[in-house]
Amino acid sequence: MMKILMRLFGSALLFVSAAAGAQQPAAPAGLPPAAAAQIQAQTQAPRPSAGQTQAEKDLEAGYVLGPDDIIEVTVLGQPEFTTRARIKANGTIQLPFIGEQKVEGETALTLASKLADKLRAGGYYAKPVVNVEISSFASRYVTLLGAVGQTGLQPVDRDYHLSEVIARAGGIRPDGADYVTLTRANGEQHDYDFEKLAAGGPEDDPLVHPGDKIYVPEADLYYIYGQVNQPGQFPIKGDMTVRNVIARSGGLTPSGSIKRIKLYRNGQEQKVDLDMKVQAGDVFTVGERFF
C-alpha cells in the first residue's frame, strides 16, 4: 500500500513540474548566461494590459500645466529648493540645481515624480520628496458670458460637464434664457436645453474643453399690466401660453376679468386665446369685470 501511495505522489510531482515547465519554458541551451537570463525574464514578465498607458492615465487625473500657470515646487526638509514660478511661453520654469525644466503638459503629480528623479540622478538629494502645488490656473479655461451668476474665465482642472461649469459660475440668472449655447474652440456651436443638462444623458450634458465658450442669452420678455396680482415684465420660459402668463402673475385680482384681456403684439391689438403661444415683446393688459 505504501509503495502505491509513493508512486502516486511521484506521478503528481512529475505532472506539476511538467505543467510549470509548459508555462515557463527555459532558455535554449548554449546561450551566454546574460542572454539566457534576459529571455527567462521576458518569458516570466506579465504582458502589458491593452488600453491607456500609465502616463496617459496620470494626465487625465489632474490639471495639465501650461504657459502662464503659476506653480510652487518644494522638497520636504529642503527649504533652499522652494520655488514659485510662472510657466514661460516655451513651457519651462527655472529651478535650483537642475536649471530650466520643461513642465508644460505635466500634471502636479507627474511633474513631482519627474523632478524627484532628476534630483536623485544628479546626486543633489538621496531620497527627495517633491511636492508641486498649482497657485494660479491660467492656461486651461473656458469662457462664460451672458446671464450667469459670474461671467469670466473659469479654469478647468479636470473634465467638467456643461452643467457643472454653469453651477460653478452661480447658475443661470432669473432673467436668463432656458437654453445654453456652447461654442467649441473649432467654432462648432450647439444649443442645449438647460432643464435637460442635469436630467439627460451625455448627449444632453456634454463635457467642456479648454478654449470652449459658454453663453447664456437673456430670455425674451413679455409684459403684463392691469388686474393681476404681480404685474410687470417677465422672461419667457419654454412654450408659454396666455394661461401660463396669468398664472405666473399670481392670477387675477378679485376685480379682474378673464374676458377682458387684451394683447398688443408688434404695436397691433390681437384677439386673445388662452392657449395661444406667447412671443417676445407681447404686452398684456387685464381689465376689470363688470359687476
Note whether 146 and 122 are same-domain residues: no
Predicted pLDDT at 64? 87
The CATH number assigned to the domain holding 69 equals: 3.30.1950.10
Contact 258, 252 (CB under 8 A): yes
Say if 2 falls within a structural domain: no
64-92 burial: b if 16+ Cβ within 10 Å, else e: bbbeebebebbbeeeeebeeebebeeebb
pLDDT recorded at residue 31: 42
**Parallel, antiparallel, or unpaired: how do β-strands 141-146 and 213-216 relate?**
parallel
Residue 99 grid cell: 536649471
Q: Could you tell me if residue 47 is inside a domain?
A: no
Q: What is the DSSP string of 147-168?
A: SBSS-EEEE-SS-EEHHHHHHH
User: Which segments of the chain are extended strands (E)?
Assistant: 70-75, 78-86, 92-95, 99-102, 130-136, 141-146, 152-155, 160-161, 179-183, 189-193, 207-208, 213-216, 221-226, 232-235, 256-265, 268-270, 283-288
pLDDT at residue 22, rounded to an integer:
39
pLDDT at res. 164:
92
Which of 177, 195, 216 is where one domain is finished?
216
Q: Is 36 helix (H, G, I), strand (E, B) or coil?
A: helix
pLDDT of residue 140: 86
The verdict on residue 235 lying in a domain is yes
Q: CA-to-CA distance for 83 and 75, rounded, in angstroms?
A: 10
- The type of residue at 40 is Q
Q: Does residue 268 share a domain with residue 204?
A: no
Q: Give pLDDT, residue 61.
A: 54
C-alpha cell at 11: 506521478
38 within domain boundaries: no
Domains in the chain: how many in total?
Answer: 3
Q: Give the helix, strand, coil percentages of the chain, each rounded to 5.
A: 25, 35, 40
Question: Is 27 a domain residue?
Answer: no
Name which of 77, 158, 61, 155 is nearest 111 in CA terms: 61
For the chain of 291 residues, list the mean pLDDT of each consecutive stretch of 10.
44 39 44 43 41 45 85 96 96 96 94 96 95 88 94 86 93 91 94 85 87 94 95 91 95 93 93 93 92 65
| pTM: predicted TM-score of the whole model, two decimal places | 0.59
Measured between alpha carbons, how far is 22 from 31 in angstroms, rounded to an integer?
20
Q: Which single residue is written with the C-alpha cell 511661453?
A: 89
Structural domain for 250, as ranges = 221-288
Q: Residue 14: inside a domain, yes or no? A: no
For residue 186, the domain's CATH number is 3.10.560.10
Boundary-marking domain end, from 136, 169, 184: 136
